[in-house]
Structures are given as C-alpha cells and as structure tokens.
Amino acid sequence: MKRQMSFAEAESAGKKRVTKRQRFLAEMEKVVPWQRLLSAIGPHYPRGERGRPPIGLERMLRIYFLQQWYGLSDEGLEDALHDSMAMRAFAGIDLAVEDVPDATTLLKFRRLLNDTT
C-alpha cells in the first residue's frame, strides 16, 4: 500500500544536492546483509504478546547501525533521528505517522543484541 508523501519528504524531494551522509547510507543499504541479520536476530526479538507492540526488528537494527556508524549515545541517536531526514529515511521513520524510539528502547535493543551473541 502506497502512503501519501509527508511535507518533509516533499521538501527534500526537491533538493538537488546529495549529502555525504545520504551517499554513505545509500551504500550501506546495498552492502549490509539485512536479510541474514534479521534471520539471525528474529528468534530472539520480542513478539509483543504483552503490552504495546514492539517496533519492527528491521527498523531497530537500522537504528542500531546508525548509532554504531556515527558513534552516538542513546540520547544522541534519539536527537539525531529527530534532526536528520537522511537518518530517518534510512531507518524508515515518518514523523507524521510515528515517533522516534526513545533512548530506553534503544538501550534495551542494544542489550538484546549483546545478550544473543
């Protein structure tokens, strides 16, 4: 199902210049073995049987990679996702529809990855 473009996406669609960050993230989109990683982590990821539904695994994994690539703290990553349209696009976050995961959610996901290795 195709969704309507947000104002922020419409504004950025008119830009002619591609930033270094956008080029880097486009390259990472191609080289990271997303499906293999999702298959390995999926069995350990919460299914949301109690409480609110979890944020999608692929989105959380992409956000985790952003944190590692840019050396950000949990709070710093939360702020960067609010500030950077390129990071939000890479993670698949549309602020018109959903919010950025908070620092505690990011911390819990990182701990889940550390516990499964």
Q: What confidence tens digit (pLDDT) does each residue in 60-113 have? A: 999 999 999 999 999 999 999 999 999 999 999 999 888 999 999 999 999 999
Contact 100, 107 (CB under 8 A): no
| Residue the block writes with tokens 């002619």 | 16
CB contact set of 54 (below 8 Å; sequence gap of 6+)? 45, 46, 47, 48
- Alpha-helical (H) ranges within the chain are 7-13, 20-31, 34-41, 57-70, 74-83, 85-91, 103-116
pLDDT over 70 at 10, yes or no: no
Contact 78, 59 (CB under 8 A): no
Residue of 73, 83, 82 lying closest to 103 (CA atoms): 73
The domain segmentation of the chain, as residue ranges, is 17-45+56-116
